[in-house]
Each structure stands twice: as structure tokens, then as C-alpha cells.
Amino acid sequence: MKRAFYCGLIASITSGIFLVIFRLAAGVLTPPEVLVDIIVRLIPLNLFLLGVSTFGSSAKIILLIVLAVLFIIAGGLVGMLWHWLKRRWSWLDHRREWVVVVAVSFILWVLAMVSLVPASGKGFFGIQSQPWPAAMVLVWLLASFAYTFTFAGLFFRPPVPQPTVSEIDSSRRTFLKRLAYAGVGLILVGGVGAILWKIANSTMQMMSGTGQLSPEITPNADFYVVSKDFSPPQVDSASWKLQVTGLVDHELSLSYEQLKALPPTSFYLTLECISNEVGGTQIGNAQWKGVLLRDVMSSITVKDSVRKVVLYGADDYADSITPQKAMADDVLLAYEMNGVPVPPEHGYPVRLLVPGIYGMKNVKWLNRIDFVDQDFIGFWEQAGWSDQAVIKTMSRIDVPASASQSKPHEVLMLGGVAFAGDRGVSLVEVSTDGGKTWNTAAMKPALSPFSWVIWVYNWTPVQNDNYIIQVRATDGQGNLQSDIPTPALPDGASGYDSRLVVITPNPSPTQQ
């Protein structure tokens, strides 16, 4: 058993060295790195914050080291498992053993390619990975072989006489014992995890003061509402129809049931109103489920003369998007918001979502899509708002609240959200000296290419003073958000969000 463990260990180290060589030489990501990506994206925000506040900017590296060690140990455990199986399966003679090794390498690799790799956002079999797709597929396959062949080479022995019954019994007993140890270990890890969770929740409440860090997913009840009318129109889903009309080869009328029978798509998307001022709250992130407009249109041919696609809502509201945007592969007819039917105030039964464009084009209570050969000036555009309405890169400070007080030499957590439409956020920076110097904030990777990010920065002021805290974001195309203060009308606000923080030896308790 011990020998099997050590052989497995050496094999996974060999495979690891192999992976590291390709990482350094060609930039091919290793499995622990991909796992870190997935974990950091999927863990709850509080745990992420706990990691950042405990380990600082090296939190990710520590996680990576832990995973790399686990990866090596897993190699040893697989070795032990092999040893155990081999004793049980008498058909597994010396010749067949090698066939199984090749098969196992393949299975391990396929599993990684259809689970780990897509979960990290690199597509099935890593088709979206860097530096080129085939590299990851190939290197991981070879690494899998490196593991199994090293193990086989070290561990396999030419046939020996059959073990006696008592030998099998005792090895089974030790195996069961180890299984029990592993069980106890799992329970311990779970317990420690639960305690950390508790601590994370309580530290968050302590740290947020009056300013609250935004949850990554905005609950429906807290999601901002902007509608032209005071109360939402009453739409009955049983009689609701979506009409596709205008310059199309044939018109379409779809019921709620017919729409829901089409293949569903879901994604996270942050919605922001064009009238949201710097530091404003007319922004929220939700998971939306529905049908892609492209899929609804799959049987329909649109005439070349079409210039605008007009979207009508049941509240006598209309807005338009370009045909290019309408046919893009990410425009969604949403019927669910955060796992429940879209609430009345957010557009029940169906609303449109157009990634990259401010809220007003995301028409609620949608009931007609009309293809026209003229320009169309929508409801808010008639009042002077931009028709392009491309979302500007923004960032907001949620914590601390304005005019907060804190003590010198004490860590003060700064945090908030940053958003750049469908371009994504690549960097968030914080200045504590009025914009002279900028520090990189930790950023929880976005839940989707259309989602905001949560950022945090732990700041330890040393002097008693009044500080102006500022934040700025860079989008996925490398463009820094504009620092020119501009009101929201006509094409969205710009400028940096800022907060005053007073550092004094005796903060007044009422203001924290």
C-alpha cells in the first residue's frame, strides 16, 4: 500500500514537472491554475473577502500552492486505489494492466476537458484557451500519460503467485481503515469551513459600517426599478403573445408556452440605467433565463432594407436597437430573473436584455418586435437621451460610507462594484491621495462577460488626516474609465467616484 502511494506521488510529481515546463515555455495553463480560476469565481463573496483580508494579494498564490500539493497527493491516492483494485480484480493480469492504464489516462483527460476546462470559461476541450486551443488539449493529455506511465513503470511487477486469502483480507481491512480516516478528515474540513463561513459573515457586518458592500447577485426585491409609469401594466401570460412583424418574410406570433418550449439560455447580466449618476444605485446584477432572440428568428428572413428593430412594451413604451445588435448571439428574451418568473415591475412575463447597452433598450413587458426601414426615436431618446446608449465604464465605492472615520494604523476595507457593459472589467484601482498614485484592488472575477465585478482594497492609513478615496476601472479592451465629470444626460455619467475618510485617533462612534 505504501509503495503504491509513493509510486503515485512520484508519478504526479513527474506529470507536474512536465506541466510546469510547458507553463513556463509556452504559457499553457496547469490544472491547479484552472481550478483556482473556477474556485475564485464560484466561492461566495464573503469567503473571497476573508481570503483577501487574511492573505492579502497573495491569497490566490496560496490557494494555488495548496491545490498543487493536493494535486500531487491525489496522485498518491490514485496509486493506492489502483493497488487495491488490482488485488480485487483477478482479471487484471500484467498484460491487461497496461491497456487499462492507457484507458484510465484517456478517461482522466476527457473528464478534465468536459468539466474543469469548460467550468473555467475556456470552453469544451479548451477551445477558448490561450495561447492556442490545441496546446492545452495536447499538454494535458500528455501529462495524464506521464502520470499513468510513470506510475506503471515504477509500480507494476511481472506476475507473482496469487496472494493468499488472508493477505487479501488484511489489505481490505487497512483500506477500510484508511477510508474511515478520509471520512473523518472530510468531516473536519467541512467543520472548519463552516466556522470560517461564520467568521466571514460576522467580519463583513463589522467592516461595512453604514456603507454596505453590494452582494454579487442583487436580490429581486432590491433590484432598482425604472419605469415610465408608476405601476406596472397587468399582463396575463396566458393571453400574452409576442408578435414579430414588419420587414420579414413571414410574421410570427408566439405564446408564452411556445416561447418557453424553445431551448433556454441563461446568463448573468448587470443592468444599469443611463440616468445613473456617478456613485448612483440604479444598477444591479441578476441571472436571467430565457430564449435568444436569434433562436426565435431562426426561421425568419429579415429584409435587407431594415434599419431599426423596434421593441414595444405593454405599457405603451417603445425603443429600438440596430438590426446588427438584434441578430447578435447574446440578445435574450428573458422569462426568469434569479430563478423565478420575471417579477411584474421588472417586465413580467417577458423582457428583453441587450448586453452592452444601457437599461432603456432592455424593454420590459415586451409584446412586439417590429422590423422597419426608418430610424426610430424611442421613449427616452425623444427626451434627449442617447440612441447608441453604449454603457460607459464605471466604478463605485460602497464601503466606507461618505465621511467615515477610522483610526491610524488600522486596516480599513474599501470596496464596491465596477462595470463596463459587455467589454468586461480588467482592472480596478484605488487612490487614497487624491489621484496622485493608484493601487490595484483585488477583484472577484465577473460571473459572466456581461456582469459587474466586486472589488476590495485593504488600506492602512498611517497619519491623522482627511483623505479623499477614489476609484477607477479599466475595461476589457484596456481603456481607462473617463475622469471627466459629466452628468448622465445625454449619454451616461462619467467621472471618478470618491469618498471622504477622516483618520483620527478617536473616531466618534456615531459616524462609523
Ligand X SMILES: Nc1nc2c(c(=O)[nH]1)N[C@H]1C(S)=C(S)[C@@H](COP(=O)(O)O)O[C@H]1N2
Place of cell 453590494: 214
Q: Report the relative pairing of strands 308-313 and 453-459 from DSSP bridges.
A: unpaired
CA 291 → CA 294, 352, 356, 464, distances in Å?
8, 10, 18, 56
**223 in contact with ligand X (CB under 6 A):** yes
Segment near ligand X (CB under 6 A); pick from 85-93, 187-195, 235-243, 310-318? 310-318
**317 in contact with ligand X (CB under 6 A):** yes
CA dihedral of 198, 203, 209, 211, whole degrees rounded to 10: -80
Using the rule CB under 5 A, which residue among 51, 290, 359, 415 binds Mo ion? 359
**488 in contact with Mo ion (CB under 5 A):** no
CA 110 → CA 17, 33, 115, 283, distances in Å?
21, 18, 8, 40
Percentages helix, strand, coil for the chain (3-state, rounded to 5) are 40, 25, 35
Return left, alpha or beta for 140; rule: phi > 0 is left, psi -120 to 50 is alpha, else beta: alpha
Using the rule CB under 6 A, which residue among 285, 362, 393, 498 binds ligand X? 362
Place of cell 401594466: 233
Segment near Mo ion (CB under 5 A); pick from 179-187, 273-281, 291-299, 333-341? 273-281
Residue 228 binds which one of Mo ion, ligand X, none, with CB within 5 to 8 A depending on kind? ligand X
CB 344 within 8 A of CB 232: yes
Segment near Mo ion (CB under 5 A); pick from 60-68, 205-213, 360-368, 496-504? 360-368
Residue 363 binds which one of Mo ion, ligand X, none, with CB within 5 to 8 A depending on kind? ligand X
Using the rule CB under 6 A, which residue among 65, 225, 403, 411 binds ligand X? 225
Kindly state the smallest distance separating residue 43's Cβ from Mo ion, in Å: 32
Closest CA to 390 of 469, 287, 494, 304: 494
Q: How many residues interact with Mo ion (rule CB under 5 A)?
A: 4
**378 in contact with ligand X (CB under 6 A):** no
d(CA 448, CA 498): 27
- Of 143 and 342, which CB lies nearer to ligand X in the complex structure? 342
Q: Which residues contact 368 (CB under 8 A, 6 or more apart)?
A: 242, 243, 244, 245, 310, 311, 312
**268 in contact with ligand X (CB under 6 A):** no
Kindly state the smallest distance separating residue 351's Cβ from Mo ion, in Å: 13
The angle formed by the CA atoms of residues 346, 348 and 350, to the nearest 5 degrees, is: 100
**313 in contact with ligand X (CB under 6 A):** yes
Using the rule CB under 6 A, which residue among 43, 116, 142, 226 binds ligand X? 226
**219 in contact with ligand X (CB under 6 A):** no
* Ranges within 207-236 binding Mo ion (CB under 5 A): 226
**Where are any strands of DSSP class E within 115-169?**
none
Neighbours of 354 (CB within 10 A): 27
Segment near Mo ion (CB under 5 A); pick from 9-17, 117-125, 158-166, 352-360? 352-360
**248 in contact with Mo ion (CB under 5 A):** no
* Ranges within 322-351 binding Mo ion (CB under 5 A): none
Q: Report the interface residues with ligand X, using CB under 6 A.
A: 223-228, 271, 273, 313, 315, 317, 346, 359-360, 362-365, 380
Q: Report the interface residues with Mo ion, using CB under 5 A.
A: 226, 273, 359-360
